[in-house]
Structure 1
Amino acid sequence: MNSEFVEEVGARPPLVLGVDPRPALHGNPPLESIRRYTLELLEALAPKLCAVKFQAAFFEALGAPGFALMHQLISGARVISLPVIIDAKRGDIGSTAEAYARAYLEAYPGSALTVNPYLGSDALEPFFQAAQQSGGAVFVLVKTSNPGSGLFQDVQGSDGKPLYRRVAEYVAAQAEAQRVGQWSRVAAVVGATYPTHLEELRGLMPHSLLLLPGLGAQGGTPVRGAGLLNAASRALYYPGGQPDIPRAVQQAEAYLQELQTPLPQPDLPQ
């Protein structure tokens, strides 16, 4: 029986390590240095993480050896029972979407994949089906962390709703059909750099895990709340701008301390 991504993540601290390797920061040969550093970092941080997020573009840019390295590291993370999110933002239709789903969700049972909803429901359904079969999850881009996200995501339709809200409503409806206890295999990406939107979208998607990229280098700050997965890439993978495992552990502990501090309670009338 496949492990369930949702159940694994829900039982762990709400911090995600983003792996975005830069060969220039590593010794020669760089790919072997990246492999050793990443595996050692995963071992050191595993108890403090709910998942590790591999940014596929940085591995693909290294050619076939880089792509092979990503798959080695995914396997290494699963060996130490660390849930995996593959940040590839795939989105296509028909047999192509099915092939992407096989390449990532079916190849790594119990793992998750980010997907782009721009092509519509038929581009998403193969991923939802594969996640159900493999015990994985799908993180749909809803409101992304980049400054220019509003160019399309904030455009209002004829009903007055911005596009990101229409996507969120669709995600919420799909999430109901794929719940695993409290949470669903249909999840969402919402940038930590947009706290006002986050409050709105948490209300719209109550059963979806929310991946919150942008912590640290992009200016986002830790956000507390059930099902909120705070993701830091450069701030954790290259703390201080270079490979540094002790400093990464310290940074993770600092984030977790902030995330685990109880929220202030309002004063109640006497």
Structure 2
Amino acid sequence: MEFVEAVASRPPLVLGVDPRPELHGPNPLAHIRRYTLELLEALAGRICAVKFQAAFFEALGPQGFTLMHELIVGARVLSLPVIVDAKRGDIGSTAEAYAKAYLQAYPGSALTVNPYLGRDALEPFFNAAQASGGAVFVLVKTSNPGSGLFQDLPLEQGGRLYQAVADYLAQQAEQQRVGEWSRVAAVVGVTYPEQVTEIRQRLPHSLLLLPGLGAQGGQAIKGPGLLNSASRALYYPGGEPDLEAAVRQAEEYLAALR
């Protein structure tokens, strides 16, 4: 099934997986593997996708990177849509390699992408998503407090830089529609609710990934195609691995999103 169709049919909550080895005892990789797979199974009916933060796995070395790919396969066995949060973005040939590594290797999955290098750096991801039934979540207005340093810069022709990115994506999204939604999607921090509303208007057919729920202080935002994403607050409820607490936390978020 296409990524956008699979996600749109499920509850609008995303589990972010950001493993911290210090919380997993003397054999952290084995415990991260077991805990994550058990958590995915416990939350499978309560989330629309699982988002693997590549940096946390890369920080664990080659074995960590291998573990991320093992967990991606595990999520797909559970029929869970996958988002690889790697924020890739480079010149065309390198973008093609990144697209092959994540979108083509896992058909029906999604990747986060940085738009800073421009159109020719984005097109390989869009093309790969179309060929693989995946999706591309492009950074528009990110959840971190310092995002405005560049994203909010005023432009000579009017508006802000993030708005120009959103308007460009709106054009691309129309060419990548799969029914109601497009394979061209956007990342907008749930920590900026006014911008979420504004960007939804600019991108009416794009799924919006809304990181920042919970630990970053963001509150759930309801609406069609709004995928609220919680990482630490859902993966480590109470600051530690806890399956039962994670299920309770997911239910609380879903209650707020109904």
Q: Same fold (TM over 0.5)?
A: yes
Cα distance in 2 for residues equivalent to 1:12 and 1:83: 10
Could you list the runs of 4 or more consecutive aligned residues of structure 1 that deviate by over 4 angstroms after TM superposition? none
Give CA deviations for 1:182-209 in whole Å, capped at 9, x if unaligned.
Answer: 0000000000000111111000000000
Whichever residue aligns with residue 256 of structure 1, its letter is L
Provide the rounded CA distance (Å) in 2 between the counterparts of 1:36 and 1:55.
Answer: 17
Name the residue aligned to 1:74. 72
1:56-91 CA distance string (max 9 Å, x none): 000000010000000000000000100000000000
The normalised TM-score by structure 1 is: 0.95
Matched residue SS, 1:47: coil
Residue of structure 2 aligned with 1:144, choices 128, 142, 145? 142
State the match for 2:95 in structure 1: 97
Q: Distance in 2 between matches of 1:99 and 1:222?
A: 35
Matches within 5 A, 1:14-53: 14-53=12-51
Q: What is the correspondence of 1:216-235 to structure 2 with a 5 Å cutoff?
A: 216-235=214-233
Distance 2:41 2:197 in 1: 33
Structure 2 gaps of 5+ residues are none
Is 1:201 aligned to 2:199, yes or no?
yes
Give me the whole-angstrom Cα distance separating, in 2, the residues matched to 1:11 and 1:27.
Answer: 37
Once the two structures are superposed, the pairs formed by residues 3-22 of structure 1 within 5 Å of their partners are 3-22=1-20
The within-5 A match list for 1:237-252 is 237-252=235-250
Which residue type is aligned with residue 248 of structure 2? Q
Counterpart mapping for 1:86-165 below 5 A? 86-165=84-163
Q: Distance in 1 between matches of 2:111 and 2:66?
A: 17
Equivalent position to 2:53, from 38, 55, 64:
55
Please say which structure displays the higher CA radius of gyration: 1
Instruction: Tell me which residue corresponds to 1:188.
Output: 186
Give 3-state SS (helix, strand or coil) of 2:136's partner. strand
Q: Percent identity?
A: 76
Shift of 1:5: 0.2
CA shift, 1:29, in A, is 1.1
Q: How far apart are the structure 1 equivalents of 2:159 and 2:137?
A: 22
Query: Which of these residues, 164, 167, 170, is aligned with residue 168 of structure 2?
Result: 170
* Residue deviations 1:129-159 (CA, integer Å, cap 9, x gap): 0000000000000000000000000001111
Amino acid at match of 1:252: A
Q: 1:28: Cα distance to partner?
A: 2.3
TM-score normalised to structure 2 length? 0.99
Q: Any idea what the Cα deviations from partners look like across 1:113-144, whole Å, max 9, x if unmatched?
A: 00000000001000000000000000000000
Aligned-partner Cα distance in 2 for 1:28–1:68: 19
Partners of 1:130 and 1:201 in 2: CA distance: 24
Structure 1, gaps ≥5 residues long: 261-270
Matched AA of 1:5: F
Aligned Cα RMSD in Å?
A: 0.4
